[in-house]
Structure formats: structure tokens, C-alpha cells
A and B are shown apart, each in its own frame.
Chain A
Amino acid sequence: MSDDEQLDPRIVAALRDLPAASNEIRDAHIAEALAYVSPSVARRSPRRWLAVAAALAVFAGGAAMGRGTRTSGTEVAASPGSSNPIKNVTPDSQCRGYADSGKVGQYFLGNEQREVWASNGDLFVYVSGTCKELATFTIADAPASELVCLPSIANATDSIIGGYTMGNAYRVLVNTPTDILEFSGRSCSQLTKYPQP
């Protein structure tokens, strides 16, 4: 390399001297990446495919309803993933492990990871990890049957949390800095909004 590229060796050393990641962080990073090797999850995708995945989730929910596969309680369709899947999302958080509950999805508010569960007509918002319950909302009624669609995301700070079926209606939750918006997965109309806990 030419001599005009010399940089103080102390600076070079400092640039390269990044403390190694802990074994836990390294293993978690690699495990998450390896999940994309398996054929069954190879089509899982980072956020750039979020909209597509969410759309599939909406259709999956609609199809499940059409087949009448629901049992009692709340059925949660395939989650499109968190609002930001690279934020070291806790992989198997089970803040509400009841048989009648379904995890809608997870999202970040600031640096706090949260997860939303649906159960028996209510939505529950927890802090991931500690599972501290932040709020409970009564699920709003939905109009019956319209076309399946995906709510548009107006701002870069908004993200789809996930979708779920309640009764005969498919719902999609959208995270915004101030509210959790609930849309009909059929009409795309906004049903209600819950204040961000």
C-alpha cells in the first residue's frame, strides 16, 4: 500500500480494538441468522419484506376463518414479525402462555421491546423479558365482511405488530409512537386506537 495511507498505529489499533461480544450476544445473533437457513423459515425476511409478510398473514387469517378452523378463544394468525426484527427480539417470549391466548406480535417503543397478546376479547401489552403487564384493552367490534387488505403505514415510525382473529373478524395492529391502531383485516378501516401504554 502506498505511503500516503499511513494512519497513526495507535489510532488503527484503537479502531480495531472492539471488545468482543459476549458469548450470549454472539450465540443469539448467529442463532437468529441460522434460522434463515432452514427451508421452513428461509423465506422469513427482514423488515424490507415486512409488508409482504404482513399481507400473507392477513390472507392466512382470512383463509383460516374461511376453513372454519378456529377453536374456542382467540386464534392468532402467522405473525409478520416484529416492527424491527433485527433488534435482538426475544425469540420465544411467552408472557401469556395460556391455551386461550395468542401472541399477536412484538414491537419496540424506544429501546423497550413489547409484545401484544390477544385473549378472550382483550388485548394485553407486556414488556418482553420481564413480562410486566402494561395495559389491557377490550377488543373493538369489527364490521363483518369486506375484502382482505393491509393497512397502509403512514409514517416511518409506524409498523405492523401483527394480526389475529377474534370471533369471525381478522384484525391487524399497527404500532405508532403514541397509539396502537387496530384495523379490520378485511376492510382496512381503522376500528379503534389504544393509547400507547
Chain B
Amino acid sequence: MTISPAPDDLLIQRAKRGDSVATDALLRMHYESVRTVCHRIVVNKADAEDATQLALISIVRALPGFDGRSKFSTWVYRIATNAALDEVRRIRRRPTPTDIDATFVLPVADATGAVDAQMDVAQALALLPEEYRTTLVLRHVADLDYEEIAEIQGVPVGTVRSRLARGRTQLANILGNQDTSTGRHNPDERNT
């Protein structure tokens, strides 16, 4: 019995050999995932688009070296995350404030303490420390498991857990919605 490679695998193999049609198809398949991760980590829209572009370029340039040890989607998310974090660092060096810095207004909960789901959660996310924000994005936007996030961030799984717990709690506090978390979290990042 022969096992045919998944369509994604065939595309990857062709793309690794420099097939631009296959590369185009792969980029289109993963484009919105890359873009969403970049937007949620970078926050500022124009800068996030820049990060998206850099991530796509990095994916193309690194494709020949993709060894299949991780899932392709995980590999793509790692590159997108690194591109987004590079952009964040570049923004920090920039003397002018970003749009989000200039215009951010804390969300206000209504009388019941609930926050309208339509509010700009992305802005609240921007207030989190970078490592919490990135971890939350990889878990809840990219839908990666602990081990994959740990691999991407180069930290132990325990650190991923604590970052998730802390980030989730802080996000809930910012949004004024205490019910978004069970309240359980690690007191510190012992595995860092």
C-alpha cells in the first residue's frame, strides 16, 4: 500500500524546489493566518501590514530549508511571529508614537460589568506585555497547543502556561470582564 502525501506536502515539496506556482498557492493558503497573527501582535495597522510582508518574504526565503520536523503551519506561525516581533522592536526604536499610542482609550464596561463583544479587543490586547500578548495570540488566534507555542517562543511549556494565565487575566481585567477567566493562574514564571 502506498501512502500519498497530503496536497499540502506536495505543494511544499514543489515550493521548496522553487516552483513559483506552488509557492503562490502556499502563500495564499496561509496568508490570512499570517496576517492575523501580525495584526494582533503588532497592533498598528500599517506596521502590521509591513510585518505581514516581511513574514511572507521570510517564508519564501526559508522554504528551501523547511525540514518538516514541525507542522508547516507551525513553521509559518513561527516566522510570522518573529516578523511581527521584529516589527515591534523596530517600532520601539522609532521616535514617533504609533497610532495606538496616540489614540488608545481604555474600554469602559457597562453597568453589568460586561463588555460589548464588538469593542476593540485588539486595542485591549495591545496593553498587555509583549510576551503575554504573543502567547495569547498563538494559542487563541493561531490555535496552537502548548508544545507548539513553547517551540516557537523557545521557552518551557510551563512558561507558556503561566503566560497564558497571566495574559488572560490581565486581558479580562482590562476589558472589565472578570468572567472571562477562571481566575486560576500561576503566581510566577518558575520555568522561565
Which A residues are within 8 Å of any B CB, using their own CB?
1, 3-8, 10-16, 18, 20-21, 25-26, 29-30, 32-34, 36-39, 42, 45-46, 84, 86-88, 110-111, 156-157
Contact = CB atoms under 8 A, between A and B. Distances in A.
Contacts of A21: 31-32, 35
Interface of B: 18, 20, 23-24, 27-28, 31-32, 35-36, 39-40, 46, 49-54, 56-61, 93-96, 117-122, 125, 136-137, 139-141, 145-146, 161, 164-165, 168, 171-172, 175, 177, 179-182, 184-185
Contacts of A86: 50-51, 53-54, 57
Contacts of A29: 31, 49, 52-53, 56
B interface majority secondary structure: helix
Given A5-B168, A30-B31, A14 B121 contact: yes
Query: Secondary structure at chain A's binding surface: helix, strand, loop or mixed?
Result: loop
A25 B49 contact: yes
Contacts of A33: 27, 53, 56-57, 59-60
Contacts of A84: 50
- Give me the 8 closest cross-chain CB pairs, A-B, nearest first: A10-B117, A8-B180, A33-B56, A14-B121, A86-B54, A86-B53, A36-B60, A86-B50
Contacts of B139: 5
B162 to A, nearest CB: 11
A15 B145 contact: no
Contacts of A12: 140
A1 B143 CA distance: 11
B89 to A, nearest CB: 11
Given A15-B125, A25-B49, A7 B168 contact: yes
A3 B35 contact: no
Contacts of A18: 32, 35-36, 39-40
A64 to B, nearest CB: 28
A88 B32 contact: no
Given A14-B120, A15-B136, 19 more contacts: A6-B180, A7-B171, A10-B117, A14-B118, A14-B119, A14-B121, A15-B121, A15-B140, A18-B32, A18-B35, A18-B36, A21-B32, A25-B49, A26-B28, A29-B56, A30-B28, A33-B59, A37-B23, A86-B57
